[in-house]
Each structure stands twice: as structure tokens, then as C-alpha cells.
């Protein structure tokens, strides 16, 4: 966790040097970061062990136990117990590192450790808290029943605020250290996906986005709490008061393209994606199929043990075919995610595409065809989460959402291509059937 605070200070120093006038005028700070991470502190705020991150699957056995002990877990928390979430990690620590667990005074999420350094306060927001499995998501309050599953109480938890509310004030000492004025508000902020939604202006029911980052996320704002844990979707609080969202998550998205790029020795992901885009539909149809479960999978399988695989390799298979197969496999995984969201009651006609993968026009078009939905990209799409955090900071000063949460200008629109759909759909059906053979 100290690395996050060190990096924050370095980034702010660069910002201060590059934009001294604007930096000096800062009135609020917004926070966002990776969800689910477990930062364990003792009574003196010392970090007890390295943080256990969102993509760590060591606690799969603990998840099974938690579901058995509290059958209403999914209804309360909005999700099945999954190894990536925070609560199972703490149950694992209690079992395997009891001396660490005995010293535990507070559990913080990654961005909230940075907040502690900024303000000295233990605070988190509703969206990030939703990813712990300790929050009663409908009531927007910590659940004693869920906390009891890990031997914790509300005393171990940070204070809850809405993402757009003030969550503290920058301490005088840190303000002086960072070169900022006194009285700077630090907003509740949001987990990375909810922050991206705010950055894309997705704050009303039916709006949403698709993120092609390390993981792949489909995010749709809902008018109420709508859990459907059976399909391994997540029903979380949004960063805005009185709003919720549904989310499907696949663990390996653009990271799978990064993996195959390094494996093949290609110059970059962009080069490999460009080469894949040059393949004809016939060449794509002849490419291997790829199951993108390099680190297990959440939606729709909730299977921490399944692993990735190529299918139908032959002597004609070339590096470009493998690059295409990985892109397509991630697309099919996201199609599974959208099907799960629809089964959970979500309705969406258009999705904004964000994250590093949004730079590929071929990928955007393929997603539109495979998901049978309009996809739009924005010039600022790669900074959705950062922009969302900044907007939450602005809202915490008292500004209105109508002024702050505007949708960015559309750069490109992609609509389903019937010819491409005719090629993709049989392959998607085969992709879905392969999981049953890949599952351990």
C-alpha cells in the first residue's frame, strides 16, 4: 500500500510542476481505484501484510463455506461469494495467518488507504463498499450478518459516505507537503467501474458502458436494487445517491491480448490487433477458438479453477490467427456477460466502450455485432475513471449532477453488421459449448 501513496505523491508533484496555477486552485480531490483489495491495518495504522488484490483467487474454499453458512448472503450482498471479493480474503487470513488477524484494527480498500494518508480518516463510499461482501447493498449500510462470517464487526469498517459527498478534508500537514491550500474537500469517490460510469455520464437507469481493461466489465445503471446472483452478476450501489447498477465481470480482457502479444513476440498489442483486423471474414472463421479464462472466470461461471485454452489449432494457424482468436474470445466472454445482465432484468440499447481496448476499431465493431447492440467510443474514453473521480470531487463541493455529469462527445458509432454476425454466431455457440469440457 505504501507504493500507492508514494506514486500519488510523485504524480501530484508532476502535476504541480506542469500546471502550477491550476494546481494551486484545487478545491476538491476525487478518489478511485481497483476494487476488492484488502489493506489490513493495526491500531497504529501500520500495514500488517501486503495487500491482497482483486484478482487473487486463494479464498475459493472460504467462499463455499460462507455461502453454506449464510444462504441469504447473495440477496444481502448482491453477488455470490467469489474469491476476488474482500470478505473471503479476510476469512483466509484468519485461518492461515492468525497472528496477523489478531492484530487487525481496520480493513481499508486500496483508494481508501490513499484517503487515510490524505485526511487521516477511515472512510469508504457505497460503490467500493459493495465489492467487499460486507455491505447490505439495498440498505446501503454495513451488515452485521455478513461481517460475522469473517469474525469482524462494524468497528473494523471505515465510515460510509456516498461517492459524491465529502468524505473528509485534506489535513493541514499533507496540504502543506503537497502544496495545496487548506480546506480542500476529499470526496467519497468510487470504485473504478462506478467512477468510469460517472466519467462517461452514465448516471441514469439504462445507461452503461463496456470496459476493455485488464478485466472486462459490462456496467448498466438500474433504477433500483436488482440482484440476480444465480448468473454470477453483481448488483452494487452506484457512486450517486439513490442509484444502483448491475455489472458482469470477466477476469481477463485486454490483459489476454497483452499475454498473447508477449507470447508471440509481437511488437505491441496495437500491432497484433491491426494485423488481426486485416484478416478476411473467411480467415477469421477458420481461426482457432479461444477460451479467455486465463485467471478463472466470474460472470457467468463463477469458476476460479477454469483456465484458458485454444481449440482447433492446425498447421495453417499463424500468429495473426491467434491474436484474432484472443480478441474474439474476449468478445464472446462479454456476450456471455450481457446475456447474464439481461437475465437479471437489465435493459440497454447503447454502450460506451472505454479502456485500452477501445482504441481498436475492429474490436469495437466486433463487439457491436456479437452483442447486437450499438457501441460508441469517445475521445476521452481511456480516462473515464480518472474523469469520474474528478467529477465526484466537484460534486462534493456542492455542484449539481446536471452541471457535472455530462456525457462526452461521441467519436465513433458502431452498429451490428449482419454479415459479421452470420460468421460470429456459430462460433459463439461452439465457444459456449466448450466451457463444459474446460471446467475442471
> SS3 helix, strand, coil % of the chain, rounded to 5?
45, 20, 35
Partners of residue 210 on adjacent β-strands = 218, 353
Q: Contact 276/323 with Cβ under 8 angstroms?
A: yes
Does residue 192 carry a catalytic annotation?
Answer: yes
Distance CA 238, CA 248 (A): 14
192, 165, 239: which is closest to 395 by C-alpha?
165
Distance CA 199, CA 381 (A): 9
Rg over CA atoms, the chain: 22
221, 160, 214, 159: which is closest to 194 by C-alpha?
221
Q: Which helix (H) or strand (E) holds 375?
A: strand 374-378
Q: Contact 375/361 with Cβ under 8 angstroms?
A: no
DSSP 122-169: -EEEHHHHGGGT-EETTTTEE-HHHHHTTT--GGGSPEEE-TTSEEEE
**Joined grid coordinates for residue 428:** 459463439
Phi/psi at 97 (nearest 5 deg)?
Answer: -135, 60
Residues 6+ apart with CB under 8 A from 146: 70, 73, 76, 77, 87, 133, 134, 135, 136
Phi/psi at 252 (nearest 5 deg)?
Answer: -125, 110
The 10 Å Cβ neighbour count of residue 10 is 10
- Name the catalytic one among 192, 303, 336, 372: 192
- Residues recognised as catalytic: 192
Amino acid at each position: 500500500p505504501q507504493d500507492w501513496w508514494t506514486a500519488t505523491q510523485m504524480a501530484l508533484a508532476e502535476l504541480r510542476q506542469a500546471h502550477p496555477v491550476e494546481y494551486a486552485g484545487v478545491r476538491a480531490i476525487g478518489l478511485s481505484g481497483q476494487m476488492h483489495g484488502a489493506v489490513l491495518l493495526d491500531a497504529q495504522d501500520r500495514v500488517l501484510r501486503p495487500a491482497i488484490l482483486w484478482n487473487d483467487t486463494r479464498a475459493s474454499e472460504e467462499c463455499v463455506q460462507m455461502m453454506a453458512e449464510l444462504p441469504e448472503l447473495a440477496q444481502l450482498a448482491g453477488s455470490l461469494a467469489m474469491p476476488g471479493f474482500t470478505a473471503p480474503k479476510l476469512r483466509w487470513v484468519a485461518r492461515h495467518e492468525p497472528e496477523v488477524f489478531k492484530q487487525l484494527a481496520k480493513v481499508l480498500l486500496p483508494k481508501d488507504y490513499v484517503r487515510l494518508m490524505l485526511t487521516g480518516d477511515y472512510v469508504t463510499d457505497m460503490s467500493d463498499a459493495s465489492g467487499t461482501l460486507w455491505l447490505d447493498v439495498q440498505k446501503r449500510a454495513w451488515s452485521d450478518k455478513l461481517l460475522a462470517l469473517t469474525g469482524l464487526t462494524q468497528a473494523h469498517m471505515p465510515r460510509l459516505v456516498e461517492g459524491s459527498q465529502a468524505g473528509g478534508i485534506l489535513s493541514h500537514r499533507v496540504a502543506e507537503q503537497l502544496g495545496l491550500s487548506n480546506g480542500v474537500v476529499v470526496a467519497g469517490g468510487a470504485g473504478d467501474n462506478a467512477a468510469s460510469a460517472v466519467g462517461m455520464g452514465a448516471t441514469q437507469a439504462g445507461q452503461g458502458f463496456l470496459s476493455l481493461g485488464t478485466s472486462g466489465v459490462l456496467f448498466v445503471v438500474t433504477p433500483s436494487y436488482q440482484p440476480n446472483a444465480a448468473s454470477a452478476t453483481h448488483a452494487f450501489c452506484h457512486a450517486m445517491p439513490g442509484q444502483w447498477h448491475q455489472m458482469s465481470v470477466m477476469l481477463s480482457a485486454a490483459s489476454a491480448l497483452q499475454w498473447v502479444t508477449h507470447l508471440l513476440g509481437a511488437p505491441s498489442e496495437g500491432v497484433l490487433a491491426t494485423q488481426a483486423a486485416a484478416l478476411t471474414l473467411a480467415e477469421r472463421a477458420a481461426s482457432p477458438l479461444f477460451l479467455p479464462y486465463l485467471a478463472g472466470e466470474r460472470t457467468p461461471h463463477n469458476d476460479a479453477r477454469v483456465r484458458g485454452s485454444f481449440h482447433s489449432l492446425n498447421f495453417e494457424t499463424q500468429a495473426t490467427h491467434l491474436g484474432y482468436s484472443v480478441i474474439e474470445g474476449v468478445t464472446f466472454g462479454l456476450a456471455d456477460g450481457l446475456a447474464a445482465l439481461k437475465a437479471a432484468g437489465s435493459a440497454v440499447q447503447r454502450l460506451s466502450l472505454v479502456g485500452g481496448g477501445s482504441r481498436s476499431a475492429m474490436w469495437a465493431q466486433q463487439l457491436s455485432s456479437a452483442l447486437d447492440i450499438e457501441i460508441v467510443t469517445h475521445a476521452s474514453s481511456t480516462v473515464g475513471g480518472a474523469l469520474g473521480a474528478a467529477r465526484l470531487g466537484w460534486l462534493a463541493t456542492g455542484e449539481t449532477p446536471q452541471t457535472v455529469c455530462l456525457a462526452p462527445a461521441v467519436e465513433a458509432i458502431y452498429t451490428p453488421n449482419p454479415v459479421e454476425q452470420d460468421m460470429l454466431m456459430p462460433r459463439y455457440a461452439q465457444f459456449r459449448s466448450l466451457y463444459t469440457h474446460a471446467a475442471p
